[in-house]
């Protein structure tokens, strides 16, 4: 999409403060993979931004600072991300029907750049 629009592209990974069930080995595996991803993206001239914190707070700051015109969010396929929020439908069920994930932490972000 960035190529079609002749726009720059950046990949952002926000490490949330809590990731239940993840131990040192899980974090090491993830960080090793992110390091490899950063190297591959760099070889393609694509910026990689690694940050941490609550995505609902951190991502809007990155959007504001960068002046991004578009946000494409990837929702985690992990079971923990598919748990219900506030007793409402799970992310997977909401997204699989093609509806906006209204109870996702990304919803406010999508509204900002829409």
CA distance 100 to 59: 18
Residue 4 resides in a domain: no
Residue 99 resides in a domain: yes
Instruction: Say which residues have a Cβ less than 8 Å from residue 23's Cβ, sequence separation at least 6.
Output: none
Predicted structure pTM score: 0.61
Residue 1 resides in a domain: no
* CATH code at position 76: 3.40.50.620
Predicted local distance difference test score (pLDDT) of residue 34: 94
Question: Tens digits of per-residue pLDDT, 49-105?
Answer: 999 988 888 888 988 888 887 777 776 655 555 444 444 444 443 333 333 444 444
Report the domain count for the chain.
1
Strands (E), the chain: 10-15, 47-52
Residue 17 resides in a domain: yes
The greatest distance separating any two alpha carbons of the chain, rounded to the nearest whole angstrom, comes to: 44
Residue 46: give the domain boundaries. Answer: 9-113
Residue 35 resides in a domain: yes
What is the three-class DSSP state of 91?
Answer: helix
CA distance 61 to 100: 22
């Amino acid at each position: 999409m960035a190529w079609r629009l002749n726009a720059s592209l950046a990949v952002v990974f926000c490490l949330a403060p809590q990731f239940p069930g993840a131990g040192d080995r899980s974090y090491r595996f993830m960080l090793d993979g992110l390091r490899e991803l950063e190297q591959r993206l760099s070889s393609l001239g694509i910026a990689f931004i690694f940050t941490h914190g609550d995505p609902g707070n951190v991502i809007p700051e990155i959007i504001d600072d960068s002046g991004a015109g578009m946000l494409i969010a990837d929702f985690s396929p992990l079971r923990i991300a598919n748990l219900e929020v506030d007793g409402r439908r799970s992310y997977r069920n909401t997204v699989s029907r093609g509806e906006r994930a209204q109870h996702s932490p990304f919803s406010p972000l999508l509204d900002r750049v829409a």
